[in-house]
Amino acid sequence: MVYPPRLPPLGGEAVFSAVQITPETLKEEPRIDQALETSPGFSLFRRTSSLSANPTTQGVSLRSIAGSGASRALVTLDGAPVNDPFGGWVIWTALPSEGIEGATIVRGAGAGPYGAGALTGVVALTERGARDGLGALDLSVGERNSYRAAVSGGTPSVLITASAETTDGYIPVRTNPGPADRPLDLEDANASIRVQHDFNGVQAAVRLETFEERRGAGLEGARSDAKGTSETFTLADPDSGIIGGWRLQAWARSSDLANTSVSVAPDRSSTTPANNEYSTPAEGYGLNAELQEHWGPVSWQFGADARWALGTDHELFKAVSNQYTMGRIAGGQTFVGGAYIESAYAQGPWLVTAGVREDYWQSTDSQRREYVLATGAVTLNNPTPEADGTVPTGRIGARYAIDPDLWVRTAAYAGFRAPTLNELDRPFRVGNDVTEANPLLRPEKLYGVEAGLGGDRFANWQLTLFYNQLKDPVTNVTIGKGPGVIAALPIAGFISAGGTLFQRENAGQINAYGVEGDANGDIISSLSWRAAFAYTHARVDGEEVAPQLTGLKPAQTPAWTATAGLDWRTTDKLTLSSFMRYVSTSFDDDQNTRRLPPGAELDLRGAWSLGPAKEIYVAIDNVANANISTGKTANFVTSLSEPFTFRVGFSYRR
């Protein structure tokens, strides 16, 4: 197979807490975010998958330090970021698992060669290699009129991947729902093509992608539509023979989000228009370059990267008699760029790695303008002065093999994330709750240390102890509750009864320590198992910015997550699989008043082989129809994740 142009890894990642997501795991899960959730450290902002999550809540975090709609982890596809340029979230429906070969999840390892955004770690996706003919195909049907089709294939120089799905969805409020409650329906489609060629040892590839998804938000009149494109151009020579291996990459990503929200009556009988974000065009583009050399047991890599993002939110708000009366334009530009050097030493039982980098960040052209629709009269014109700064980061670690089947390791690191345009400039509303933007936000910075132990005797396993400190976390801080205009922040306007006003703030720091572990092995040759867990004790120190938060848990951060799975090859034809995920208690707000109880979900899958690489399968998600809370409003109305779901399909993978 022919893979995208890349350099061989330095090998230093083995000193950090890293997990591999295999093609077998990707085959069993219809969505790549669900496959990544087999690692307990991985989570979206809320306890739901991309099947039903609004795009703005699909932010990724590693370790339960603090969830966020803007990802606190960087997600890349063969080196190019896939986080949205405006909000930092990830449109997972644009990444069908049929086009992905695997993923490496590096938890808490700081910026390193990855750059800005890898605050709690990185999810490095690898696209499928190109080969003659069909590489992957999946066709499935399920409950609630759910249909999905995905295909990947081509030639050794061309890879084409496409998928589409539709589902009527489910109603997330299942306790006393009202006429205003609607299903989380979904339609999505995407297509990508990668063309590559070898020019006398220099590998070149161009990748183009387009995607769109349309989904309901669970209430009458509340919907979202996200679409976009991406382009990546890569050149690499893994071994030039003169200056070592090198790689150059340029990428661009455009997106546009339309999102309508409503306020709902206390008896859930009706909704009132609250906000119509009818267009949010955004563009992100960047460059990265790396030079690599190997001198005996020593390898080193020097690199630089730069990323630009610009976007503008266009929306209507303040409805009177169900008619919008006000308009808003908000947005700006951000830049972050830096350079790094990383080295690794591998000799005998020792593996040592160290690296430093320096980044410059900048936010410019930040604006927020509000006007009367009927007259065009401007009621608010709030530009913000330019902000910038530098952030030094680094990481170091060592691993020692006590014997071939047992090793120990330790590491220390620092990482950072610059605030997104969405956090800086765009206020938003969910139901009756309003969250105000803050153009004065500073970058988040994380400092961490960890130590681990692992081995391969009897089973492949690893155990990690860690301590992380997140400085200046961007947190939605409660300002006041409705009804009325909150005097502390009158710019937000009128807050409905049952609603809460939040504002994004750099709220002190979050201190977190914990332990994580994972293991897998075979009980017998036909029965394999896997298990993983993560425990994180995270608490906020609001300092003088938000002293009311001191001692509380960050929102959407469970202390415990655990997963377990069994795969039983009962015969040459039949394979039975089970997977369970448990999440402990968390809270949906900064003040820990909206409690989300613990929940566990069990999924089952049975596959019958039709020959090499071909199978038909039956899958049941949430077998026990468990009620797993995903969100809770200020008046304690609870939303739930996907109920019992049955589907059947055909799969081909080679």
Q: Which tokens hold the place of 526? A: 């036909």
Would you say residue 146 lies in a domain?
A: yes
- Measured at the CA of 469, the angle between CA 463 and CA 472, to 5 degrees, comes to 145
Question: What is the DSSP-derived secondary structure letter of residue 547?
Answer: G
Rounded Cα distance, 355 and 340, in Å: 7
Whats the size of the chain, residue-wise? 654
Task: State the Cα–Cα distance between residues 58 and 47, nearest whole angstrom.
Answer: 10
Q: Is residue 197 part of a domain?
A: yes
Task: Count other C-beta atoms under 10 Å from residue 525's C-beta.
Answer: 7
Average pLDDT, the chain: 92
The whole-angstrom separation of Cα 269 and Cα 261 is 16
Cβ–Cβ < 8 Å for 170, 643? yes
Alpha-carbon gap, residue 469 to 511, rounded angstroms: 5
Residues 6 or more apart whose Cβ sits within 8 Å of residue 63:
41, 107, 108, 120, 121, 466, 468, 512, 514, 516, 534, 536
Is residue 3 assigned to a domain? no
Q: What is the DSSP letter of 97?
A: G
According to the model, what pLDDT value does residue 8 have? 84
Asked if residue 2 is part of any domain, the answer here is no
* Cα distance between the two ends of the chain: 11
Element (H, E) at 422: helix 421-425
Q: Which element (helix H / strand E) includes 32?
A: helix 32-36
Question: Rounded to whole angstroms, how far apart are CA atoms 115 and 594?
Answer: 35
Token pair listed for 623: 């077998």
CA dihedral 538, 539, 545, 547 (to 10 degrees): 170
Which tokens sit at 397? 């670690």
DSSP 292-317: EEEETTEEEEEEEEEEEEEEEEEEEE
Q: What was the pLDDT predicted at 590? A: 83
Q: Report which DSSP code applies to 34.
A: H
Range of the domain at 67: 12-653
Cβ-based neighbour number of residue 200 at 10 Å: 5
**Locus of tokens 């669970």:** 218
- Return the structure tokens found at 498: 């049952």
CB atoms near residue 285 (< 10 Å):
17
Alpha-carbon 280 to chain mean position: 20
CATH of the domain at 170: 2.40.170.20
Residue 482 within any structural domain of the chain: yes
- Per-residue pLDDT, 568: 96
Number of domains in the chain: 1
In this predicted structure, what is the pLDDT of residue 598? 96
What pLDDT, on the 0 to 100 scale, is given for residue 242? 64
Q: What is the pLDDT of residue 315?
A: 94
Q: Is residue 385 part of a domain?
A: yes
Is residue 116 within 8 Å of residue 442, measured between CB atoms? no
Cα 312 to Cα 279: distance, rounded to the nearest angstrom: 8
The strand ranges marked E within 200-322 are 202-216, 223-237, 245-264, 271-279, 282-295, 298-320
Tell me the two tokens of residue 630.
Answer: 């995903």
> CA-to-CA distance for 91 and 224, rounded, in angstroms?
12
Q: Taking the CA of residue 38 as centre, how many other CA atoms within 13 Å lie in the half-sphere pointing to its CB?
A: 28
3-state secondary structure (DSSP) of residue 200: coil
pLDDT score, position 266:
86
Considering only CA atoms, which of 431, 93, 457 is closest in space to residue 266?
431
**Residue 471 corresponds to which tokens in the numbers above?**
């400085």
Residues of the chain with pLDDT under 70: 240-242, 431
The per-residue pLDDT for 93 is: 94
- The pLDDT value given to residue 431: 67
Q: Are 163 and 186 in contact (CB under 8 A)?
A: no
Report which of 555, 549, 558 is spatially closest to residue 600, judged by C-alpha positions. 558
Is 25 a member of any domain?
yes
What letter does residue 544 receive in the DSSP assignment? T
pLDDT for 388 equals 94
1, part of any domain: no
